Amino acid sequence: MKRLITLILLTLALVSPALAAGAAAPSAVAVTSAQAAPLPPEAAQYFVAQFDPFVVKFPAGWVLPGIRWYGLAYVAGFLIASWLMWLYARKNRLSLDADQRSTLLMTLVLGVLLGGRVGYYLFYVILGDPVRQAEFFAHPLMIFRVWEGGMASHGAFIGGILGMWWYARADKISFLALGDVVATLAPPGVMIGRLANFVNGELWGKKPVSHVPWAMIFPKRDGDVIVGWTEPRHPSQLYEAATEGLLLLIYTQWRWWNSAKPGQPGALPPGQLAGEYLIGYALVRIFCEQFREPDAGLLLGLSRGSFFSLFMVALGATIIIWSRKRGLTARNG
């Protein structure tokens, strides 16, 4: 329980001030209805996605401005992951005891948060924004300014994988088998995180303007102040929640529960599900990137989300090939 409370407080402290990659950094100005920009004429025809990004706002002068839905999304994702591992253990599909599961979860939390933060600066500042790149090299400690926002999903994946590798090595368990477990834990967190992106009014659809009936208008913010509105755009955050989150949640859970228990005849070779998840995430991410405003400049004509997802396809395919070869070797003695 103490670890769980620590996990929640750590996540809220690190993530509540932070926004996703490409979102505007918060300013010290508070939101008031008088400061908000007037709604555009298209608001009479399209849904306006205007939500308060804060669940709770703290008084001026506090260390944190408040608790954001984005921070709670991370907490919810980790809590669901904890519950799923408990369920797997109860159904004898996971051999980790309560203490091991708690340690694994804390390791994943740290890996995801640190990886997401470092990945943002690597992929979107150092490799994506010449102005902020110069600022970063002059003041490298700015990476700790979590209140300025910035989390990258591909960085979170890398951090989570590194944390998982460290745990598997320390606990002397199969890295590939652990990857299969973690692959089933990730989709709920991704889904809730994308819904939080939607509530934050960030990572909206790209130009040209969309005139599909379900197009939406999103606020343009200077920190927490609404200074303008987008033209009607695709709600790309909801597309990502449905595909990267819900679709892969259904798929990974179906694969997990409809295969034999690990170690039994007919079980998937260790690493198979992890590889499938990486490929599946990369493919649906590339699909959704066709509707999403790029967070930074293109790489080889591709958005950064699409470009880095290609490496996930390669990694997933490599894991599957490696997993099957190891399985054949084991069966052949």
- Please report, in tens digits, the pLDDT of each residue of the chain (333 residues total): 566 556 555 555 555 555 565 454 443 333 444 356 888 888 889 999 989 888 888 888 777 778 888 889 999 999 999 999 999 999 999 999 999 999 999 999 999 999 999 998 888 888 877 888 888 888 888 887 776 678 889 999 999 999 999 999 999 999 999 999 999 999 999 999 999 999 988 899 987 788 889 999 999 887 778 889 999 999 999 999 999 999 999 999 999 999 988 778 778 999 999 999 999 999 999 999 999 998 777 778 899 899 999 999 999 999 999 998 876 555 544
Q: What is the DSSP string of 130-196?
A: HHHHHHHHH-GGGGG-GGG----HHHHHHHHHHHHHHHHHHHT--HHHHHHHHHHHHHHHHHHHHHH
How far, in Å, CA of 322 to CA of 146, rounded? Answer: 38
pLDDT at 177 (0 to 100): 94
> Where are the alpha helices (H) located in the chain, listed in sequence order?
2-15, 69-90, 98-120, 130-138, 153-171, 175-200, 236-240, 248-257, 272-289, 304-331
Among 284, 326, 69, which residue's Cα sits nearest to residue 175? 326
pLDDT at site 295:
77
Can you give the pLDDT at residue 166? 96
Which pLDDT belongs to residue 244?
Answer: 97
Contacts of 124 by beta carbon, 8 Å cutoff, 6+ apart: 21, 22, 150, 152, 295, 296, 304
The alpha carbon of 118 is separated from its chain's Cα centroid by a whole number of angstroms, namely: 14
Closest by Cα among 249, 200, 218, 211 to 80: 249
pLDDT score of 30: 39
CA dihedral 315, 308, 288, 69 (to 10 degrees): 100
Token pair listed for 191: 């889904």
CA separation for the pair 169, 163 (Å, rounded): 10
CA distance 243 to 297: 24
pLDDT at 33: 40
Residue 8 has, within 13 A of its CA and on its CB side, a CA count of: 10
Task: Write down the pLDDT at residue 4.
Answer: 58
Residue labelled with tokens 């990659």 = 21
**SS3 of residue 66 by DSSP:** strand
CA angle centred on 123, ends 237 and 176, rounded to 5°? 80
Q: How far apart are CA 148 and CA 4, in angstroms?
A: 26
**pLDDT of amino acid 255:** 96
Question: What is the radius of gyration, based on Cα positions, of the chain?
Answer: 21
What's the pLDDT score for residue 34?
Answer: 39
Cis peptide leading into 208, omega within 30 of 0? yes
